Structures are given as structure tokens and as C-alpha cells.
Structure 1
Amino acid sequence: MKVLFIGGTGNISTASSCLAVEKGIELWHINRGNSGNPIRGVNTLQCDVNNRQQLEDVLSEHHWDCVVNWIAFSPDDIKRDIALFSGKTKQYVFISSASCYQTPPESPVINEATPLSNPMWQYSRDKIACEQLLMDAYNQNHFPATIVRPSHTYSKVIPIAIGGWTEYTAIDRIKKGKPVVVHGDGTSLWVLTHADDFAIGFVGLLGKVESLGEAYNITSDEVLTWNQIYQRIGLALGIEPKLVHVTSDKICRYDSEYIGSLLGDKSSSVIFDNSKIKKLVPDFLCTTLFAEGIKTTLDWFEADPAHRIIVEETNTMMDKLIAAELA
């Protein structure tokens, strides 16, 4: 099977690239060639995906069993891909987002039939618009679209709301015995998925004709409260974290940039129903509990000082929010 990943070396996609090669897939990446760690066994088409003429030139002689776009975020990206790959691929996979689901949800249990609506986050609304374009192209012109909705998937990122992701700020505070801000009261439910587990479900659906015109959740079945998430981080560090709970509304009033990622995503409880992907890919099983997965993530940050990015603006924000909360 000949597969093209647009992107392929990111937080989620690296594990999927490695597994695809391991499974014997003829995998190609198209990117600008800036990745410092090319994946062994992957063929590369070097191109700026935002340069339409370059794209057309490098793709002109290729046909694909599957094309996956990991970095499509706008309807214009999808319109371009429909034009580029119509008649040139048997399957086109769009990486959407579980943040597209109804926010706030009527029920914490989310399946693929849950309505798509997120008034809080433009990122999610753009992803919804992308999905709608693809489903129209499938229904009207048989464009072979498959939609994947991952949720909070981690590997070499710290999956917390404030002072994490590519930042090391919150971890640094915990190690120094300083308090950290946790949104809400810490009891809402959340799902974290390790990229290695996601890859099993994802690679398993490549080439599956049954998936055309369908959408799939691919997440872990482990459900944790945010307090438990921070406690497991503390256990991995060998330090009991000092948690200060601040409402998401207060955090967003301090910095409106958090409105999307908090009010539009992480402030609501979610439990994902993965029965649909499990039916299509019986081998899909998430075996990496967060308590173990976060250890490998923290090991990666510890392995190189360059990974440990401390953002002083985040420190200042936490200090001010905590001082106001404890006053």
C-alpha cells in the first residue's frame, strides 16, 4: 500500500509514521525538509505545501492508495486537497478534532453521532467546516474521505492546560515546590491518549474502504479527573504537586487566549465511545496508562535542556491567579 502523509513528524503523526513503516506500508512524507529527525524507511517529497505550483509539480506522477493530511486547518486547505487528489487516491484521511463536538456537551459520553458545534473556539469551527466540505465532496462526487477525531493525544508534549504542552513551566514549578494552577475544581473528567496507542487505531484504518464517508473517534478508554492527571505527574516526578484551583472563567478573563482551549474544550467532562473504530480495527487497544506514558514524556524533556522551555509570562500569570485565589 502506497500512502502519503502531508506532515508526518509531529506530536501525533510521528508514532503513526513509525508504525506504518513497521507494518510494511510504502510511506511517503511531503514537507519542507526541516525535520531534524527523519524517520527511517520513509520516502520524502520536499515541498512547501502552501505553494500550490510546487505541490502540483511534486505530485504530478504519483497515485496513492491513501493520502493523510495531518496539517489541514482551514476550508481552503481542504478545497486545495480535493482538487489535487480527486482521481489520484483511493482514500483521503482528514485529521479533525474531538473539540468539534458539541460544547458544552449535553452528555459527557461522546460518540460519532454527537452533534458538531463549538461556539467557543475558531480552531474547532474551522475543523467542522473542513469536515462538511469533505462530506459534501463524498456525497456529491464520491471523493473518498475518511475523518478521524483524536482528542488530547500526547508524546513529546506535556498534556495539561496551563504551563504545559511544549512548555516545561508547570513541571519546573512542581519540581521547585511552587503551586500550579489547575482549571476548575479538578474533578471534571478528561481523556489522554498516548500517540503510540493512537497509531494502532489510525494505521489500522488506512486502506479500509468501509471507512469512506465515515468519521471515527480514536482515543484511550482511560478516564481521569484533572486532579488525578496532576497527581500522576507528581508521582512520575516523585513530588506531591501543590494544586490551586481557579475557575476557567477567571483564567480566561486574565488571558482571553485560553477561551478556546478551556471553555471550548478542557473545562467540560468527556468520555469517548471508541466502539466504532474497534469494530473496524479489532487490534485497536490502548495499553499505555497515563501514569506510565507521562514518565516517557518527562524523560524526553529531561534528556535535553533545550526541551525544557520556561515561559516567564506563564509563571507571572500563575503567580497572580494564585495570589488572587488565596487572598
Structure 2
Amino acid sequence: MKALFIGGTGTISSAITKRLAEQGRELYLLNRGTRNGELPAGVKIIEADINDEKQVAKLIEGMRFDVVADFIAFVPSQLERDYRLFAGKTKQFMFISSASAYQTPLSDYRITEGTPLSNPYWEYSRNKIACEEFLIKQYREQGFPITIVRPSHTYDERSIPLGVHGSKGTWQVAKRMLENKPVIIHGDGTSLWTMTHNSDFAKGFIGLMGNIHAIGETVHITSDESVTWNQIYEVIADALGVKLNAVHVSSSFLDACSTEDYRGGLLGDKANTVVFDNSKLKRLVPDFVATVRLDQGLKRTVEHILAHPELQAEDPKFDAWCDKVIAALDAAVAAVNAE
């Protein structure tokens, strides 16, 4: 199999790249070369900015692929560019959409690929829906061989997956835990969430590559394990060797008093209970099973970050904001009790 990945070094794509390299597949990565230092041997690089369509067209002139996958397309114009570049050059075009495109709020917490797409809270999700609609139109009218993949919350060893954090990542939350400071959990922490280790995602994705039954299909790839946010934070605190000091705050309140995108990231995503039905994926990839249990995966992630100081990006602005929010809640409770 000869494959081309647009991107190939992100949280999701890096695990797929690694696994394909281990299998000896012929893999090309088209990217700007800024994160290629740790690529496995055998991976070929086409160094270019995908947004420079003329340059890319020259570089891939005469090339044909079994699979082309775009991991970094977010708006329809980028898919229109991909169609111009790869129509007639690939047997399968795979687009990474998002499970956040599913109906929000859900009418049924159990999500299948037939769940309606609608997210009034998050522009990111609405753009992904528009991307899907463009590709489906090309499949129906032009025979463009698409497969749409919807990941949910996928993580690796480089970042602790959390619900509420600042623009510089999630380390500051872990640092607050280590310092015995209270940490914010959105809502009451009892809503169910699904996190998928990128190595498990890679198994499902590779099973869809070159799969004739996946052409024209939309498939989500997630773990079958659902846990509460309280459990997620407890596991992280345990991995850090500290006791969790949690403060539960309404997602709507967090959105109202933050400059971060909590409207999209929380109200349009993580504040909602989600349980994924992976029956379709398992029909298409019969041997798929997610084997990294969340508590084990999170502990490995925490251990890796503790051993790599370069991954410990501090965020004083977010830290101060957390203190301010918690102080405001304490003041409100005191004011009500004083009446």
C-alpha cells in the first residue's frame, strides 16, 4: 500500500505513522517539516506547505496513491483544494472530521454514525460538518472515493487530556494538583466521557485504509470505555501521587467568565455525556478492539510528562484565573449564607 498523509506528526496521525512504518508500508508525509525530527525510519517526506497548491501540484506530479489522508483540514476550502490536487490520483481519500459534529445536545446519549450532525455551540464543529457535506457531494456526483473518520477525545503521552485548561495546555492543572491547589471540574463531574489512546485509534484507522467497504462511509473510531470526569481527575491525581482537591463549577458559568473557547469546548463538547457505539467500525474492521484502558493510559502519560520537563508548559494566566473563579464561588456561598 502506498499512502500519503497531509500532516502525519500530530496526536492522532503520529501513532498511525509509527504503526505503518513498523509494518513496512510505503508512506509519504506532506508537511512543512517542523516536527519531523522523531519520525520512524522509512517514512518519506514531501516538504511543502499544503496551502501552496501550485507547489504541491508540482511535487506530486505523476504520483499515484492507494490512500491519501488529510489530518489538518478544518474548513471546506481546504477540502476543495484537496479535491483539485488528488482527484484521479488516489483510490481512497480519508478526511479526519470530529465526533463533536454530532448533535449537541444529544437526543440520545448513545452515538452511532446515524446520529444527526448539529452543533450550534462550536464553529469548529460546524466547519467539520460543512467539510463532510462537500466531500459527500463529490462522492455522489463525481465518484470521489472518500472515507470520513470521526475521532473523539484522542490522547497520547505528550499531553494530559482534561476538560478545563488554558491556552498553553494542561500541565498547569497537574501543577495545581501537585501544589495541593483546588482544580476546576466542569459541571458536577458525573457526566460520561470517552477518551481514546492514539495507539488504539491507529488500529481502527489502518483497518479502514484500502478497505473497499469503507468507501463512501463515515465511521467514528473511539474506545468502548466511558468514565466520569470525576474518575478522570482522580486517576490523574493518583498518578501524580496526590489527593484530588476538586471544585465543581457550572460549564455555563465557566463560559461566561472566560476568554477561552469554553462555549465550544465545553457546552459544545465535553459537558455532554457521550457513549459511542462502535458496531460499524467493528463490522468494517473485525479485529478492532481498544486495549489501552484509560487509567493505564493516563498513568503512562503522566509518567512521561513528569520525566520530560520540556512538556511542562506553565500557564500563570490560567492559574490566576482558576483562583479568581474559585474565590468568586466561595464569596457567593458566603454571601448567601449570610442572609
- For structure 1, the residue ranges without an aligned partner over 5 or more in a row are none
Q: Aligned residue for 1:27?
A: 27
Q: How far, CA to CA, are the matches of 2:33 and 2:329 in structure 1? A: 47
In the TM superposition, 1:1-327 aligns within 5 A as 1-35=1-35, 36-155=37-156, 156-163=158-165, 166-256=169-259, 257-327=261-331
Q: Quote how far apart the aligned CAs of 1:61 are.
A: 2.0
The answer to whether the 8 Å contact 1:3/1:66 transfers is yes
Q: How far, CA to CA, are the matches of 1:303 and 1:37 in structure 2? A: 18
Q: Deviations over 1:16-67 (max 9, x none)?
A: 1111122232111011111132222211101011111111111112100000
The answer to whether the 8 Å contact 2:235/2:299 transfers is no
Whichever residue aligns with residue 31 of structure 1, its letter is N
TM-score (structure 1 length as normaliser): 0.98
Q: How far, CA to CA, are the matches of 1:41 and 1:12 in structure 2? A: 19
Q: How far, CA to CA, are the matches of 1:120 and 1:140 in structure 2? A: 31
Q: Deviations over 1:167-204 (max 9, x none)?
A: 30000000111110000000001000000111100111
Identity of aligned residues (%): 48
The answer to whether the 8 Å contact 1:99/1:124 transfers is yes
Q: How far, CA to CA, are the matches of 2:13 and 2:134 in structure 1? A: 23
- In angstroms, what is the RMSD of aligned CA positions? 1.1
* Secondary structure of the corresponding residue to residue 49 of structure 2: coil
* Secondary structure of the corresponding residue to residue 205 of structure 2: helix
> Which is greater in Rg?
2
Q: Deviations over 1:97-134 (max 9, x none)?
A: 00000001001100000000000000000000000000
Q: Quote how far apart the aligned CAs of 1:290 are.
A: 1.1
Give the number of aligned pairs: 327
* Secondary structure of the corresponding residue to residue 314 of structure 2: coil
Q: How far, CA to CA, are the matches of 1:140 and 1:289 in structure 2? A: 42
Q: How far, CA to CA, are the matches of 2:142 and 2:30 in structure 1? A: 26
Of residues 63-72 and 235-244 in structure 1, the stretch that sits farther from structure 2 once superposed is 235-244
Q: Deviations over 1:74-93 (max 9, x none)?
A: 10010001111111000000
Whichever residue aligns with residue 161 of structure 2, its letter is P
TM-score (structure 2 length as normaliser): 0.94
The answer to whether the 8 Å contact 1:11/1:157 transfers is no
Q: How far, CA to CA, are the matches of 2:165 and 2:122 in structure 1? A: 20
- For structure 2, the residue ranges without an aligned partner over 5 or more in a row are 332-339
Q: Deviations over 1:125-169 (max 9, x none)?
A: 000000000000000010000000000000022111222783300
Whichever residue aligns with residue 172 of structure 2, its letter is T
Whichever residue aligns with residue 215 of structure 2, its letter is L
Q: How far, CA to CA, are the matches of 1:230 and 1:63 in structure 2? A: 46
Q: Quote how far apart the aligned CAs of 1:246 are.
A: 0.3
